Amino acid sequence: MKVFNTDVLIIGAGPAGMAAALQLTQMGIQDIIIVDRDTQAGGVPRLCNHLGFGMRDIHRVLSGPSYAESYLKKIKNSSIQLLTETTVTEWIDEKKIKITSPKGIHTIDAKAILLATGCRERPRSARLIPGYRPQGIYNTGSLQDYVHGYKEEVGKSAVIIGAELVSYSAIHTLSKAGCKIKLMATEFDKHQIYMPYLPFKWWSSGLLPKIPLKKNSIVTNIYGKQRVTGIDLVNKKTGKKKHIACDTVVFTGDWIPDHEMARLGTIEIDDKTKGPVVDAQLRTSKEGIFAAGNLLRGSEPGDVAALEGRHAAQSIEYYLKNGGWYKDRIKIIVTEPLKWISPNSVDLGSSGLPMNRFLFRVNDFIKNKTFIVRQGETVLYRKKYSTIGPNYSRKIDAQWINNINSTEPISISLE
Amino acid sequence: MTNPKKVYDVAVVGAGAVGAAIARELSKYDLECILLEAKSDVGAGTSKANTAIWHTGFDAKTGSLEQKLLTRGYELLLDYVPEAGIPHEKSGAVLIAWNEDQFNSLEGILEKAHKNGVTDVHLLSVEQVYELEPHVNSGALGGLMVPGESIICPFTVPLAFASQAVLNDVDLLLDFPIEKIVENKDSYILSGTGGEVRSRYIINSAGLNSDVIDRMFGFDRFQVTPRRGELIVFDKLALHLVNHVLLPVPTAITKGVLVSPTVFGNIMLGPTAEDLDDKEETSTSADGLEFLWKKGEGIISQLLDEEITSTYAGLRAATDHSDYQIYLHSDKRYVCVGGIRSTGLSSSLGIAEYVLELLKEAGVTLIKKEDFKSIKMPYIGQKEERPYQSEELIAQNKDYGRIVCHCERVTLAEIKNALHGPIPAITLDGLRRRTRCMQGRCQGFHCSADVNEIFELEIERIECGGGQ
Ligand SMILES: Cc1cc2nc3c(=O)[nH]c(=O)nc-3n(C[C@H](O)[C@H](O)[C@H](O)COP(=O)(O)OP(=O)(O)OC[C@H]3O[C@@H](n4cnc5c(N)ncnc54)[C@H](O)[C@@H]3O)c2cc1C
Ligand SMILES: Cc1cc2nc3c(=O)[nH]c(=O)nc-3n(C[C@H](O)[C@H](O)[C@H](O)COP(=O)(O)OP(=O)(O)OC[C@H]3O[C@@H](n4cnc5c(N)ncnc54)[C@H](O)[C@@H]3O)c2cc1C
């Protein structure tokens, strides 16, 4: 078992990990190892064969594979060591981990570690949907693998569960695979999409209006002993049940961070995001360990993850130069209908550069509410929203963290 | 593939844990035997969907055949399980009393356990309960410890038995449902869509269909009612919450719902108990899952904050009798092994030994083979070293260093191996049971397309005559 020593170890070569690595080299840190368990680096975009990547980080609009490739090209021309087919399997020490690859089992001993392990969609089972377990049930992620990765056929007639950004990737992928989309079903009463999202606007004008949307609907049963033969949809408001014949069901969205390594490392997990608790410098509860990208709270667009990677790189550079960790970390507590906030803590000492924004999500459609950040009686920030919807994130400015002057808990509510 | 002229000495109908154990036992002797299975794999019936507890028989009805064979089966597995490399852990079980009724019945259970020869069972104080299981809800009144209750891999058990039987020259026919049995002088013709097989003796270990087969011999003595048991499997990251099998205190009505670690490192919650008509109704139900959720909340509410990995349902072959339905009919050269309801995984080797005694009684000459081969199964549990952790294996074959299924850390080499061997996987489900691939928390989000591709390529290669 060989031991590799490095300044920075990055776990996960998706947009967050790749962007972090490149940013670090630009800041003069050259000794970086980035590992990914997949046979090819690039993360999820590698299999997102549609336009819509790169606006905010590389200021171009590319397809997922071209986007991943543009990062990988730069990594190849740098001092960064990229190890693919390499899985981090366990922690040996605070900043020392074990890897398995075709080359054997080795350890990497790093001065700082960035966790950028991404997220996944909750499978049907995790959503506790009863019925049989036939073939023909997918998540958007696995569907893309079949269709774009292996040019496999899927079914002939599909139902898409969910009507958020990623659900439209499922439409795209199914259409490419020649599968008819019968309908989309969502538990809400409309599509959940943040209208300013440009790529969506482009093609929503094309395909979307042709696909019926079953509103307020949840899946209550899946039929078929071998292959899916249909599902039951129940309208939450009327209680009416409808059987839909189909041979394919795609469960979209409902993200859960791939937090296995974080949890195995006993890093504190936020009970709302299910990702590591991080402060605005993207520092986790363990000294020297940072987190960025979808691991933090589920899926955002790839460029958002990449920008977080870049930010983490700045914090890592600061840490390698100055040492130290946060002093007084104050947890941010959100209450319903807020679903989560990310980052979810702030450092009173404020060493290093905090991110200049927070992201948050809500559980339901909300009209005319004010977002209020409080510390005790003091209102640190407020902003009015006419509408906010579930399943997409909104951004708030982080200026208010400069006004914190005690370690009292911070709470956020919508009133 | 079958030779319609050949007359076997013994045909075993049904390759679940029980039938496979019987076939393995038969393969120790100089006999021509065949194992017939309706599905595309062994162990693909009830044996694949249960709670996977290796029972001691501490609470079985004293003096019943079930108790006798369970005790013997438990003992035989003690030797077999390490020899064959079957994932298992001697976790022990804790029965927790949550109310006066349950508390008062603990003494009786203790007495019964001792009567059944399970003498290490002992009472636990409330403090001891919480020391052993610090994460269960508050409110326990006391408990009972059953140190011998263990957990076992339900997939490897029938596969090990059947593979060893095949290795020792038992023929195996899959996709071979028996629909008709006719006597032809001193042998039987068993037939169905798969073809025809002849055999002098027949053993009926057809699980849920054991009553149907039994009727083919002119009997009408028991009726199998599929009793569905639904289960919820929680993420491996929940494993630290539960240290032992948490058995409910049995009441008159039901054995109740248990919470248990699995040999793969998950936590399982279940089963329900519901009588159905359809012997293939292995779907889960909204009511069942909700019931389990409430039960889980009452035992260890912390568990429900963890992610769910999967849900499934199994069907117990319940009958209108409380005991196993095992009968010998020497005149008909027939042994019925039916109604092995909810303990068959644990008792299988005991049953097999007993069936051989019955055959001897029926006049079958049993001459031990000299070269009975042992078997070692691929290890898919969490406790011992897995291939991805073995420098030695990876040095031999890089594919042991190529993790394909990340949640369960299944390597390319393991997947390929499962498509070869005495009983290769011929379906993706078979592959799942042999390797764990796609059985983890993402249920194939990351790897199912890869696994599918590897499976198809390798099957194609094998069909074109490629060996391993
Ligand atoms: C169906 C779909 C469609 C999308 N469409 C768009 C779009 O149009 N536009 C857009 O901007 N974004 C889109 N996204 C979102 C975008 O892909 C993600 O935001 C982005 O990939 C997140 O980057 P990441 O680095 O956080 O995680 P990922 O890209 O998920 O990368 C994480 C990496 O970590 C690796 N890893 C995990 N655990 C380990 C371990 N233990 N050891 C080694 N490696 C490990 C994984 O193999 C993976 O490569 C889409 C996402 C999906 C699922
Ligand atoms: C929810 C649940 C929990 C349980 N928990 C435990 C436990 O914790 N511990 C324990 O020891 N036991 C447990 N059991 C019981 C255990 O699973 C069974 O007793 C055992 O699997 C029975 O094995 P078998 O071989 O008799 O039946 P099966 O596994 O059902 O095998 C019978 C086989 O016969 C085949 N077959 C049927 N008809 C025909 C035909 N006409 N021709 C050819 N083949 C045919 C079937 O396809 C099947 O493969 C549980 C059962 C359930 C349902």
Q: Which two tokens stand for residue A165?
A: 């950004």
Ligand closest to CA B42: 2
Same domain, B66 and B160: yes
B449 touches chain A (CB under 8 A): yes
Q: In sequence order, what E strands does B319-421 have?
A: 325-329, 334-338, 403-405, 410-411
Name the residue of chain A whose CA is nearest to B446's CA. Answer: A142
Half-sphere exposure of B35 (CA within 13 A, CB side): 36
Question: What pLDDT band is residue A312 in, cutting at 50, 70 and 90?
Answer: very high
Q: Rounded mean pLDDT of chain B? A: 96
Residue B468 located in a structural domain: no
Structural domain harbouring B116: 86-150+227-318
Ligand 2 within 6 A of B315 CB?
Answer: yes
Residue B38 located in a structural domain: yes
Q: Do B312 and A37 touch (CB under 8 A)?
A: no
The answer to whether the beta carbons of residues B244 and B132 sit under 8 Å apart is yes
Q: How far is CA B46 from CA A35, A367, B51, B106, in A?
A: 42, 52, 11, 30
Ligand 2 within 6 A of B337 CB?
Answer: no
In chain A, the largest separation of any two C-alpha atoms, in whole Å, equals 63
Question: What pLDDT band is residue A350 in, cutting at 50, 70 and 90?
Answer: low
- Spatial CA neighbour of A352 closest among A399, A397, A319, A330: A319
Name the residue of chain B whose CA is nearest to A232's CA. Answer: B286
ipTM over 0.90 threshold: yes
CA of A42 to the centre of ligand 2 (A): 45
Ligand closest to CA B208: 2
Whether pLDDT at A215 is above 80: yes
Residue ranges of domains in chain A, CATH in brackets: 1-121+255-325 (3.50.50.60), 123-253 (3.50.50.60), 326-415 (2.60.40)
Ligand 2 within 6 A of B53 CB?
Answer: yes
- With the most atoms of ligand 1 within 8 angstroms of its CB, the residue from A97, A117, A261, A289 to mutate is A117
Same domain, B215 and B269: no
Name the residue of chain A whose CA is nearest to B304's CA. Answer: A126
Please say if B88 is a catalytic residue.
no
3-state secondary structure of B423: coil
User: Domain with B207 in it: what CATH number?
Assistant: 3.50.50.60
Listed in sequence order, the residues at least 6 apart from A255 whose beta carbon sits closer than 8 Å to its beta carbon are A119, A120, A121, A122, A294, A297, A298, A299
Closest Cα of chain B to A405: distance in Å?
Answer: 34
Same domain, B164 and B251: no
Would you state the pLDDT for residue B2?
60
Same domain, B14 and B62: yes
Same domain, B299 and B231: yes
Q: Which two tokens stand for residue A179?
A: 């599968």
- Which of B282, B301, B318 represents a domain boundary (last residue)? B318
Ligand 1 atom with the smallest distance to the CA of A170 is 1
User: Domain with B265 in it: what CATH number?
Assistant: 3.30.9.10
Closest Cα of chain A to B254: distance in Å?
Answer: 23
- Spatial CA neighbour of A270 closest among A354, A339, A193, A370: A339
Cα end-to-end span (Å), chain A: 57
Cα angle, residue B429 at apex, residues B425 and B433 outer, rounded to 5°: 75
Protein residue closest via CA to atom 35 of ligand 1: A12
Q: Which two tokens stand for residue A369?
A: 């509410």
Q: Which two tokens stand for residue A150?
A: 């292996």
Whether pLDDT at B381 is above 70: yes
Residue B141 located in a structural domain: yes
In chain B, the largest separation of any two C-alpha atoms, in whole Å, equals 68
Whether pLDDT at A207 is above 70: no
Same domain, B53 and B186: yes
| Total of domains in chain B | 3
* Distance (Å, whole) CA B112 – CA B131: 25
- Spatial CA neighbour of B188 closest among B3, B32, B8: B8
Closest Cα of chain A to B393: distance in Å?
Answer: 9
Question: What pLDDT band is residue A114 in, cutting at 50, 70 and 90?
Answer: very high
Residue B295 located in a structural domain: yes
Question: What pLDDT band is residue A106 in, cutting at 50, 70 and 90?
Answer: very high
The 10s digit of each residue's pLDDT in B167-206 is 999 999 999 999 999 998 899 999 999 999 999 999 999 9
Q: What is the DSSP string of A305-360?
A: HHHHHHHHHHHHHHHHHH----SSEEEEEE-TTEEEEES-EEESS--SPPPSEEEE
Q: Which two tokens stand for residue A318?
A: 């600061």
Ligand 2 within 6 A of B226 CB?
Answer: no
Residue B426 located in a structural domain: yes
B399: β partners: none
Question: What average pLDDT does range B66-77 have in this prediction?
Answer: 98
Option in A85, A150, A222 nearest B402 (CB):
A85
Would you state the pLDDT for residue A200?
56
Ligand closest to CA B292: 2
Question: What pLDDT band is residue B463 in, cutting at 50, 70 and 90?
Answer: confident
Same domain, B116 and B172: no
CA of A332 to the centre of ligand 1 (A): 26
Would you state the pLDDT for residue B185?
87
Least confident window among B48-52, B136-140, B168-172, B183-187? B183-187
Q: Which two tokens stand for residue B348?
A: 């299988």
Option in A1, A128, A139 nearest B391 (CB):
A1
- Residues from chain B that touch A271, judged by Cβ atoms under 8 A, are 305
Same domain, B290 and B371: no
Would you state the pLDDT for residue A153?
86
CA of B150 to the centre of ligand 2 (A): 19
Residue B174 located in a structural domain: yes
Ligand 1 atom with the smallest distance to the CA of A17 is 25
Q: Rounded mean pLDDT of chain A? A: 94
Would you state the pLDDT for residue A348?
86
Residue B76 located in a structural domain: yes
Q: Do A105 and B399 touch (CB under 8 A)?
A: no
* Distance (Å, whole) CA B25 – CA B164: 10
Would you state the pLDDT for residue B250?
81
Same domain, B78 and B10: yes
Question: What pLDDT band is residue A405 in, cutting at 50, 70 and 90?
Answer: confident
Same domain, B245 and B215: no
Q: How far is CA B357 from CA A152, B70, B363, in A?
A: 53, 16, 10
Same domain, B188 and B289: no
- Which of B279, B303, B318 represents a domain boundary (last residue)? B318
Q: How far is CA B88 from CA B73, B216, B383, in A?
A: 15, 38, 8
Protein residue closest via CA to atom 10 of ligand 1: A301
Same domain, B231 and B306: yes
Closest Cα of chain A to B431: distance in Å?
Answer: 14
Question: What average pLDDT does range A228-235 have in this prediction?
Answer: 98
Question: What pLDDT band is residue A205 in, cutting at 50, 70 and 90?
Answer: low
Option in A102, A141, A256 nearest B394 (CB):
A102
Option in B283, B305, B406 nearest A131 (CB):
B283
